[in-house]
Structure 1
Amino acid sequence: MQMHTQDMTFWFLLYMFVIMAYAEADLASDRGALLLLRSSVGGRTLLWNASSPSPCSWAGVTCEQNRVTALRLPGVALSGQIPPGIFGNLTQLRTLSLRLNSLGGSLPSDLALCNSLRNLYLQGNRFAGHVPDFLFTLQRLVRLNLASNNFSGEITLGFNNLTRLRTLFLENNRLSGSIPSAFDVPNLNQFNVSNNLLNGSIPAKLQTFTVTSFMGNSLCGKPLDSSCSGNGTVPSKPITGQSGSGQEKKNKKLSGGAIAGIVIGSILGFVLIVVLLLFFCRKKSSQKTSSVDIAVLKQQEIEIRGEKSIGEVENTGYGNGYSVAAAAAAAMAGSNGKLGELNGTGAKKLLFFGNAARLFDLEDLLKASAEVLGKGTFGTAYKAVLEFGTVVAVKRLKDVTISEMEFKGKIDTVGAMDHENLIPLRAYYYSRDEKLLVYDYMPMGSLSALLHGNKGAGRTPLNWEIRSGIALGAARGIEYLHSLGSNVSHGNIKSSNILLTKSYDARISDFGLAQLVGPSSTPNRVAGYRAPEVTDPRKVSQKADVYSFGVLLLELLTGKAPSHAVLNDEGVDLPRWVQSIVREEWTSEVFDLELLRYQNVGEEMVQLLQLAIDCAAQYPDKRPSISHVTRRIEELCRSSMRDDQDPQHDLVTDGDEESR
């Protein structure tokens, strides 16, 4: 019996030794493959510790049971072509993310040996050639993203083999031909082939997707507006007058008199246009040198209708050369438009708050050159440059329905609000027809313009330090407002109301104005930011402010405008879109591409994302207070400053599991 027990122990130990040796050999093979990848591609060097026997601690590498199961290297400036012989050794990979690099050439054929692969993210590279057939043998694939590459050729029925596939993104390539009518991937719920060279009709199985999945091609059929002809192509419009009897064709010929009439009419029309142009040019010139009446202002406002609020449309050219007198000229109704009569006995004056320096008066303001910044929620904003160089922002309020006494009481409360993250209200002007507010001018414009404006070659990307600093400044400003009383809220928190100094410090605008205007100004002012429980935009609680701030944080992190976020190509609000991505464990897919290069603060980005989701909770009692939010952002900012000492810390939160 004892001998038998010893034999069993011997064989068990031998078995464990063999298993451990085999596992170590497999991990060594994975390690060698990763080092080969590092030496094969150019760009930023992958700072992996080659002396370490285990790759499991390397940035972007995830291991389970002594095998590499995930490799995530998004946006790390890799370039060149991946040779065969790498992925054939990484056979336990379940997630491979090489997105947003500059890798090119064809996909390595030994990727076919990664038969456990579930998530393949290759978007934003330069891969070329046909979509290789070996991808169709990876039958465990759940998510496949080949968007924004240079793939060409046709979409084949090979995709039908991927029966578990739920996401297929092929947009922004050079795919051509038609989509096979028998195309049928049973579990597909995200699909996009927009901006390719495809033609023909859309297969029945794909007609449940929306228009944006197919735009930028020559496709026809549902869901597109264009119907297909009998051969499955977009029908061309018939040319009228080319069919019918010979008499009809004869009637189409123009007589000589008709031709002469057309020529004379054209000449007269041209002369008339020239005369009108000269007339309007002279009229515009006279407007620049004479007093500007209220009609000019109203015309200006018509011209800029639909523009964004203050700080977002600076230097648009609207209103350049006009005087701020346009914004106050209505106050001169009954005084024959003479500026001087405003300064006589009993005339209204520009009223300053507190100890604000009175460097100018109403007459100086009326003489100032100005340009329209934009048409906002509560009125039109102007940048005014006074004769001695001072620059201020002037807001002309609209739809003010309260009495002068009530207006003065409310605006005095606004003028008394004093915090470094609020835009100071310096002065105001009130008359029966005009109400003007004078603020400090913010040279960098709004956060909305910075996030969603021009992203051309000369633009400086918004890094984590700037974005987190803006978030902290805005939170502190809102916290101050909430500290003034339990019934005090902002009511209109959005990125266009977060203005920036030259050092990117956040300043909140439009606080306290919701109580000054009538209901016609408020219904649509917070599209995308409004809390679900808010039915009257003029009555917003502090918890509703927290919701709007949560959406603002999501906007900072994702780079998406709240009113334009999409999920499965269907319009939804930004919080729901983010929650759906996080629920699928694709957390890093949420972040703005400009943030992904700052991988040393990945943990802080994820924590701020979670805080934003908490703020945008459906029910008010589930949302934190703004004081709690401010403290958390302060902690994240301090933490990210410490993390700057470790520039190789990587963001490794891509989802790698099939949803169950």
Structure 2
Amino acid sequence: MAVSFVLFLVSVLILGGRVDSEPVQDKQALLAFIRQTPHANRLQWNESVSACDWMGVQCDGNRSFVFTLRLPGVGLVGPIPPNTLGQLGQLRVLSLRSNRLSGQIPADFSNMTLLRSLYLQDNKFTGEFPDSVTRLTRLNRLDLSSNNFSGSIPFAVNNLTHLTRLFLANNKFSGNLPSINPGDLVDFNVSNNNLNGLIPDTLAKFPASAFTGNLDLCGGPLPPCNPFFPSPAPSPILPSPPAIPQKKSKKLSTAAVIAIAVASAIVAFLLLLCLILCLRRQKRLQPKPEKPPVMPRTVAAEAGTSSSKDDIIGGSAEAERNRLVFFEGGIYSFDLEDLLRASAEVLGKGSVGTSYKAVLEEGTTVVVKRLKDVVVSKKEFEMQMEVLGKIKHENVVPLRAYYYSKDEKLLVYDFMRDGSLSALLHGSRGSGRTPLDWDNRMRIALSAARGLAHLHIAGKVIHGNIKSSNILLKPEHDACISDFGLNPLFGNTMPPSRVAGYRAPEVLETRKVTFKSDVYSFGVLLLELLTGKAPNQASLGEEGIDLPRWVQSVVREEWTAEVFDVELMGYNNIEEEMVQLLQIGMSCVSTVPDQRPNMAEVVRMIEEINRGDTDDGLRQSSDDPSKGSDGHTPPTGSRTPPRSVTP
């Protein structure tokens, strides 16, 4: 019995050691790599914590070895030091895309025998096709495109028997294409190199786009080789005349002159024909200019199909210059190509652009906003992004990354699974709907006010587009402000249609948003929470009347239940609080900007509403950074329906 207990203890200790273990050797290899490789400041690995918690590093379930290393677009510069990454013998995925790495691939890469995916595209690597890579026999994805590799493509590529995708485009490879024939190869591209000769039958199944930009390649999906000159033509020059006595005339005979003229005409015709055919062939094979990348699968997502890499990613210098830019302290590790390969679902088309839910291959979910009508320069755009990227608050949806090119401007945000206030408040108000109770409406009002106040005070940023669809919700109904600070991208003015129903009166005239116009829009939001009516809802009665004027007209007549949402009439002891919040909302929508409170005052006034529950976290001081985020929601039963509604 004692022996069994001891064995049990030992096994527990061993298993416990596995769970809490640290991949010491892999950590040393990674530290050696990052110390010897210049890189951008945003890649900060803390030696005091486990390597498994570093940005871009993923370990196995027992945290005993590094399983995946993804460092795309993190500003790595120079050659890969030997005896660093090659020591990660258990690595399955290595992505160093879109950096400025150069030199040759170290020979010790061949030690990573378990590697499945190797992404080295969009760098400055040189030398011949890496011999060490041909020894990674378990590879199924290899991307060396958009580098400066040269020399021939070796037949040893056939050692990679599990290969499914091989991309070698935009390099300087030369010579003939070998008969590459891994049985599962489904994606292949060697476009824009210096290859020549006949395309092997094993590769003829791929489209012409896989071979464009190699003017000396022929056969397969390209035009046949030498179609007009299958064999060398006999020399058209007349043979030397037989020796004749010197006394005879040295003049050529009439037949010889005719033969020479005919032969010359034939040669000239053939040369002209050959030149015309070559020019037409070159024009046909020349790849069309590629546009910069667009939002992932915009058309494909709506049509239910997927798009290929060649449709999305280009090897142009524009794509090289315009990369996905992440902000320091972010939680994501992916690059533009990962984003463009993601499956995309349209979430909505708003006033500033279209929002997509993008699910990346490794399962990460983000929101990508594709902006439209941006008028500022790239420098102005980047300056505004730097301002917005520094804003961090629990009630503000953080901007994680951005992308800028001539034709596309993308913003990357966290995905909020619980949707928007607009959908929660106005969606499916028929039978079977779960009403939004008063406690949660108060929680939303206060947390949204805190988020907007932080934008105004700490960030010194005007939101410019406050509306219920831009108020996103956490699981416990704390609110987060989204789509903030985008107004300067449109020339520091906002067309009135973009804030219809929420716009302050002065914005209609000046088309300029201010801190005070934000307060007005927030006041409309409070009235929306109280009444359950959308600001531009037709049920407001008189055509063209907005929500503040409708509330004022009802209040002037008398205090009736008509003002408040009918869904709130089922709760008791909340009338006083509703009236107090209504007064705050009405002060915010004053027609005179100077008579409106600032957002710090709005937060204070909401906090001072005499709440019946004092332990719900809503009355915390506005100086407390954790205010309103304790996740406690008062039970619905705390408010019992009254027998009759008191106006």
- Length-normalised TM-score, structure 2: 0.48
Q: Report which of the two structures shows the higher radius of gyration computed on alpha carbons.
A: 2
